Amino acid sequence: MTGQRTQIGVDVGGTFTDVALLVDGRLTTAKVPTTADQSRGVIEGIEKACEDAGVEPAAIESFGHAMTVSVNAILERDGARMALVTTAGFRDVLEIGRQDRPSLYDLEAEKPAPLVPRRRRFEIDERSTVEGLEREVRPDDVHEIAEEIAAAEIDSVAVSLLHAYATPENERTVATLLRKALDVPVSTSSEVLAEFREYERTATTTVDAYVTPAIDGYVGRLVDRAAEAGIPAPQIMQSNGGIADAETVREHAVTTVLSGPAAGVIGAADVAGDDGLVTFDMGGTSSDVSLVRDGSPARTTDAEIDGLPIRTPMVDVNTVGAGGGSIAWVDAGGALRVGPRSAGAEPGPVCYGRGGTEPTVTDANVVLGYIGPETALGGELTLDVDAARDALADLADDADLDGPLDAARGVYRVANATMTRAIRAVTVERGLDPRGFGLVAFGGAGPMHAAALASALGMERVIAPKPAGVLSAYGLLAADESHDAVRTVRVALADADQERIDSVYEELVETVLADVSEPDRAEIDRAADCRYVGQSFELTVPVEEFEPEAVANRFHADHESAYGYTLEEAVEVVNLRVTARVDRPSPEVGHAAEGDPRIGKRGAHFPDVGAREAAVYARNRLAAGESIDGPAVLEQPEATTVVPPEWRGRIGDDGTLVMEVAE
């Protein structure tokens, strides 16, 4: 094997913490419950995987980590108590936002409350324009604001001044003085997002300040715990699908909001290696869907999480609240619903026997026979099938259904419908035919539902990687190091000053290389956000050499590919982007199957065909080249795969299972 001989990846989810340990091509996986202090569960998972593999934690040479600290702080609204400093007259930018509405005809629709209330937003008299500095900040004004912030017992501060993306001098002065006066982190928009659009820039900077204390504290604790165990400091997965060292992430906390989902997409792209894939990650709390085209994950700079715009580069993931732990319930109209509320790790689904009382998708899968009574989830957790059946019986009474089996079928169908809509959102709604894609299924529950989703969408191929249950952790072993920087220029291509463009690119290259661990190995990618004059959105096009005609031609081609037409209008370049990437070798994983894979048979219920007797296999004992006819259930410690009737699976050389509709 090339590269590191002993590597480990750890992904923290809402219910479980997943571990993938690679030692000389031999992959060992582990799954442990997520702990309140996630860093404790991470070390416990590492120790468990190392014990199973027969190696000491101190032998680990590379430690990749993905987490949910940032996104949890946003979703649960328990981030920092923060303040915002902005230009006089722009105090309410966060509440004014944009004129677009998520529910156009809903007169009672409410926007999410800003992360920082109005009483903790402070105005300062200054003025910058895109041409330069008009009115400098007065230090006395900053000191007065610092005193008010100190009295308000603030955990962090965001500074977003008008046009600071083009003229950052005043913003830098404010930040410098606040950092001297206050012992709290200060996030500035010129460092977080040097782009125009006041609302999005201010909102993204606010998110950075909101999650920075949580990220700083968590990563700091994890670094200390790792050092105590003799493990290298973690390299953290960012939303853009690249890893960065711990200190860089602590300084750029907003880059971690989609850390876990991004790792899963990277792992899927590495294992499946296909030009057209839909990735489907079904975990304990939610399901994440994304695309891989031309071997690369789809990325975006225009994302929204819980109503908050975040314009940092990230893997383009569509998330829905349907996971194994999603709770089934009956609404006021008597309709059966699933999620978004989840039973989480504690108490978890009813079948876990940890005090849960509300039925979940996992409980439905137990009653349907996909998960057997003897199955040990995570290799340790045994199931209480009777408790799951009783909980679904209660749900059946509430929904006026015919017993627990009928309720289980209903929960399964409703959850699948939610996940099908998520796949349609990244394919059909973007002009793509899902039938031309393979579906890569992972997460603890993904391979259990994948074939049913594929059938509903007309997709004929499902790929379940060998480490399906911990693929996000595995993706950390495959991720490259990556850093991004952006700057707004806003100029018509025909009027672009080559010297200015080159100068901005040079500054951006210096910015990203400052964060790279090995600058001599870094590959630099340049890009430009372009649009037709008069448009309100941009497309990012790669730039090898900034030659206006070549950039315009590439933009025309990409615009036609994305939207089906081109215009005769002039092209404007809005932002320049630079990415520094340090490639890491892909993991080389062997597959050695030993022992009889046949475990037995059990009854399973398939919504479209009814009860069938399904063969049950130990998936890790299935040899390369072996075929499995449905109906069948393939069990492994971290995930269960269901091969429905009329489907057939085949094991690849690396242990990957490819399922196709039987002819």
The pLDDT tens digits of the residues spanning 565-605 come to 999 999 999 999 999 999 988 888 878 888 899 999 999 99
| 365 SS3 class | helix
Neighbours of 481 (CB within 10 A): 22
pLDDT tens track for 491-500: 999 999 999 9
User: Which residues on adjacent β-strands are paired with residue 157?
Assistant: 83, 186
Sequence-ordered strand ranges (E) for 456-594: 461-464, 481-492, 523-532, 539-543, 571-582
- Give the per-residue pLDDT at 378: 52
Tokens linked to 643: 């091969």
- Give the per-residue pLDDT at 190: 96
Backbone angles phi, psi at 65, to 5 degrees: -145, 135
pLDDT tens track for 486-528: 999 999 999 999 999 999 999 999 999 999 989 999 999 999 9
Tokens 């009027």, residue?
495
Residues in CB range of 174: below 8 A, 6 or more apart: 85, 124, 126, 137, 142, 159, 161, 188
- Give the per-residue pLDDT at 375: 66
Nearest to 45 by CA among 75, 72, 69, 13: 13
- Give the per-residue pLDDT at 265: 94
Determine the residue type at 603: G
CA distance 370 to 633: 7
Task: Please state the rounded mean pLDDT for residues 220-224.
Answer: 96
Confidence bin at 381 (pLDDT 50/70/90): low
pLDDT tens track for 390-438: 999 999 999 999 999 999 999 999 999 999 999 999 999 988 999 999 9
- Are 527 and 541 in contact by the 8 Å Cβ rule? The answer is yes
- Give the per-residue pLDDT at 541: 95
DSSP state for residue 544 in the 8-state scheme:
S
Residue 320 has pLDDT above 60, yes or no: yes
- Give the per-residue pLDDT at 5: 79
Is this model's pTM higher than 0.95 or not? no
CA distance 119 to 33: 40
- Give the per-residue pLDDT at 16: 80
Residue 25 has pLDDT above 90, yes or no: no
Determine the residue type at 599: I
Domain boundaries, the chain: 75-216, 326-416, 481-582
Confidence bin at 662 (pLDDT 50/70/90): confident
- Give the per-residue pLDDT at 638: 84
Residue 613 has pLDDT above 70, yes or no: yes
Q: How far is CA 559 from CA 48, 502, 541, 565, in A?
A: 50, 25, 10, 7
pLDDT, greater one: 241 or 303: 241
Handedness of CA 287, 241, 258, 17 (dihedral sign): positive
- Give the per-residue pLDDT at 2: 43
Q: Report strand pairing: 156-160 vs 82-87.
A: parallel
CA distance 472 to 16: 12
Average pLDDT of every residue of the chain: 92
Neighbours of 131 (CB within 10 A): 9
CA distance 318 to 429: 12
Task: Please state the rounded mean pLDDT for residues 319-342.
Answer: 89
pLDDT, greater one: 70 or 283: 70
Residue 20 has pLDDT above 50, yes or no: yes
Domain 75-216: which CATH number of 1.10.3470, 2.40.160, 3.40.1360, 3.40.50: 3.40.1360
Task: Please state the rounded mean pLDDT for residues 605-627.
Answer: 92
pLDDT tens track for 70-128: 988 888 888 999 999 999 999 999 999 887 777 778 877 778 889 999 999 999 999 99
Percent of the chain with pLDDT over 70: 98
CA distance 556 to 562: 10
Residues in CB range of 416: below 8 A, 6 or more apart: 449, 452, 453, 456
Neighbours of 460 (CB within 10 A): 16
Residues in CB range of 584: below 8 A, 6 or more apart: 3, 478, 479, 480, 481
Residue 3 has pLDDT above 50, yes or no: no
CA distance 351 to 360: 9
Residue 376 has pLDDT above 60, yes or no: no
pLDDT, greater one: 157 or 352: 157
Residue 15 has pLDDT above 80, yes or no: no
Tokens linked to 79: 């981030």
DSSP state for residue 587 in the 8-state scheme:
P
pLDDT tens track for 541-553: 999 999 999 999 9
- Give the per-residue pLDDT at 60: 95
CA distance 291 to 28: 27
Nearest to 283 by CA among 13, 76, 638: 13
Tokens 């930040």, residue?
175
| 519 SS3 class | helix
What's the CATH class of domain 481-582? alpha beta
Q: How far is CA 101 from CA 34, 96, 97, 106, 109, in A?
A: 36, 12, 10, 9, 8
Per the rule left: phi > 0, alpha: psi between -120 and 50, beta: everything else, 575 is beta
- Are 233 and 224 in contact by the 8 Å Cβ rule? The answer is no
CATH topology match: 75-216 vs 481-582: no
